[in-house]
Amino acid sequence: MLGVSLDVTRGRVPKLDTLFWYVDRLSAMGFDQLQLYVEHTFAFAFNADISSNCSPLTADDITQLDAHCRMQGIELTPSIAAFGHMGRILSLPQFRHLAEVESDTPWSNQPWPTRMRGLTLDTRNPEAMRLVESMLDEYLPLFSSPYANIGGDETHDLGRGRNRTYVGQHGRGRLYVEHLKFLAGVCMRHGKRMMFWGDIIRNHPELLPEIPDDAILLDWGYEADSEFPALTSVARRDRDVIVCPGVSSWNRIVPGFHNAFTNITHAVTAARTHDAAGLMVTDWGDHGHFNMPTCSLPAIAYAAMSYQNPEIRLDASTISDIERSVFGKIVPGRFDAIMQLATPGDRHHTWCDLYAPIGEPHAIPWTMQLIEQHAAAARSVLDTLSDCADTENKIVADEWQIACKASILLAEKSRLLESDAPPDSSEWKSFAARVHAFSDEYAAVWRRYYRPNRLEDIRAILQNMLTSPVSSTQRPDFPSS
C-alpha cells in the first residue's frame, strides 16, 4: 500500500473538482490509497450541528470522489476522529457532557493549539458510544474501501477527568484499549479492517495483543531522525504496520523539505527492512491550514519514487523527475531556489513567525544576509511560475505564487524587526498595506479551490499581526462561526 493522508478538517475543505485534480496527480505518481482526515467537516445527517458553518463534505461528495478514485486506481479510505481530536463536536452544547474533560469555551473562540489538541471522548459513557457509533454508521458505508482509519492518536486527556478513578484502578492503557476494541467491532460490522494511529499504544505494548489481530497500526514519525518502533516491537507479532512519515508542511509557508526528504528516506528504509504493509505520507494543516497543499507535492512525489524504488537518491535525476511531476517541466535553478526557500522551515514554524504580532520577537534566528537570501529565493521561484499556469497546473502556479509572496512578506517583516523601525514608521505602514493586499490575494486563491470554511481565521490573524502587540498566549480574534 502506498498512500497519502490529507488534512481536510483544520481549515481547508477542498472543492470536489480540486479533490479530483489531486487524485489524478496522486494516481500519476503511483499512489493507490488516499485518506481525507475528518473530524467535523462532514455533513452528518443525524446531527447538522456537527458541521454547521464548516462548509463540509457531503455524502454525495464522498460517493462521487470514491467513484473517481476507483477509476484512477486509488482506494479512498475513510479517516475520521472517533476517540481524541473531537474538539469541535464535544464543544457543542448537546455533546459537551460526553467529553472526558469538558470544555467551557466555544470551539470557535479557542486558539489554534487548543483546537488542534481537541477533546477526548468519555469512553465509558454509553451515550458517548452511541454518538461515535452514529458517526461511523453514517460515514463508513459511503466508502468502497475495505479499511477504515478511526484515529486514536493524541488522546491527551484520556482518564484525566471523568474516568480518573477508573484509571487509578485499571490504568490508562486499559481504558484506551477497551475503546479501540469497541471501534474495531463497529468497523467489522461494516465489513472494514480498522486502522489506528500507533502513538498511544507505544506506551502500553503489553496490551497490543488484545487489539484484534487484523487491525492495522499506523506508525508515525515526522522528524528527520524519527524511528518507527512498532516495526521492531516484540508485541507486533504478525500485525500489519504502515509507516507514516510527513511532508513537514504544517505551520510553514513552504515545507521544510530537507527534513521531509530525510524523514521519508528513513521511513522507506524502515518499511522495506522490517516488512511493513505499506507507507502513507501525511500532510497536516495545523494553525488554520495556511500551508498550500500543492507546495507539499515535491515531498509527496519523492515518497512515491523512493517507495517504488528504494535504491534512488535525491540526486539531479530524481530532482528533475520531481520537478517535472509537480510543475510539468524543468526550469534551471528553480529546485535549488525552492530548497533554499524551504530551509527555515526545517527547524522553525515560518507561518507562526509571519503571523506573530509585530511587537513580539521572531523565533527564527535571522541575519540580514539570510533575510535577503530568503527573499531572493522567493522571487526566483516566483519568476518561474508562469510556465505552469496552464489549465491543468494552474492550481500549482497559484498556490506557489502565494507561498512565495508570503515568504517575501516574512523576509520584509524580519528585516523591519532587525532594523528596530518604530511601529508607526512609514516602513511599517507600507508593510501593512502589502499585508492587506496579500490577504486579498490569498483569499482569492483559497476561494478558487477550497470551500469558505475557516478562511476568515487566516485573514483575522494576519490583521491581528498588524495591530498593537499582544501576548502570544492570548487567543487570536477569530470570527464566530
Which string of DSSP letters, residue by residue, matches 140-168?
GGG---SEEE------TTTTSSTTHHHHH
Q: Which grid cell is 445?
A: 486563491
Q: Which grid cell is 283?
A: 500532510
Q: Which tens digits make up the pLDDT trace of 155-182?
A: 999 999 999 999 999 999 999 999 999 9
Confidence tier at 95 by pLDDT (50, 70, 90)? very high
Sign of the torsion angle spanned by Cα atoms 448, 453, 456, 458: negative
Confidence tier at 420 by pLDDT (50, 70, 90)? confident
Domain 2-324, what architecture?
Answer: Alpha-Beta Barrel (3.20)
d(CA 279, CA 130): 33
- Return the ∠ at Cα 247 (arms to 180 and 392), rounded to 5°: 110
Q: Which grid cell is 144?
A: 468502497
d(CA 69, CA 53): 27
* Type of residue at 203: N
For the ranges 47-56, 243-252, 289-298, 356-365, the lowest mean pLDDT is seen at 356-365
Q: What are phi and psi of 229, to 5 degrees?
A: -65, -20
CATH number for the domain whose boundaries are 330-466: 1.20.120.670
Residue bearing cell 531522525: 225
Residue 25 · residue 58 · CB < 8 Å: no
Percent of the chain past pLDDT 70, that is, above it, reads: 97
- Nearest CA among 223, 209, 219, 145 for reference residue 180: 209
| Confidence (pLDDT) at 480 | 42
Percent of the chain past pLDDT 90, that is, above it, reads: 88
Residues of the chain with CATH 1.20.120.670: 330-466
Q: Which tens digits make up the pLDDT trace of 322-369?
A: 999 999 999 999 999 999 999 999 999 999 999 998 878 778 888 899
* Type of residue at 418: E
Neighbours of 407 (CB within 10 A): 26
In SS3 terms, 329-358 reads as: CCCCCHHHHHHHHHHHHHCCCHHHHHHCCC
CB-based contacts of 433, cutoff 8 Å, min separation 6? none
Half-sphere exposure of 259 (CA within 13 A, CB side): 23
Residues of the chain with CATH 3.20.20.80: 2-324
d(CA 233, CA 228): 9
| Confidence (pLDDT) at 471 | 39
Query: Which H helix or E strand runs over 231?
Result: none
Confidence tier at 476 by pLDDT (50, 70, 90)? low
Provide, for the chain, the percentages of residues in helix, strand and coil under a 3-state DSSP scheme, each rounded to the nearest 5.
Answer: 55, 10, 35
Burial-class residue 360 by CB neighbours within 10 Å (0-12, 13-18, 19+).
middle
How many DSSP H helices and E strands does the chain contain?
A: 17, 8
Q: Average pLDDT for residues 20-47, to the nearest whole number?
A: 98
d(CA 388, CA 407): 20
Helices (H), 162-285: 164-170, 172-189, 257-273
Which letter does DSSP use for residue 468 in this model?
S
Confidence tier at 75 by pLDDT (50, 70, 90)? very high
Helices (H), 30-125: 59-71, 87-91, 112-117
Residue 346 · residue 249 · CB < 8 Å: no
473 pLDDT above the threshold of 60:
no
Q: Which tens digits make up the pLDDT trace of 381-409?
A: 999 998 776 778 899 999 999 999 999 99
Sign of the torsion angle spanned by Cα atoms 297, 299, 300, 304: positive
Residue 360 or residue 141, greater confidence = 141
Residue bearing cell 490569498: 442
Residue 283 · residue 300 · CB < 8 Å: yes
d(CA 195, CA 185): 12
| Confidence (pLDDT) at 390 | 75
445-460: b (≥16 Cβ within 10 Å) or e: ebeebbbebbbbbbbb
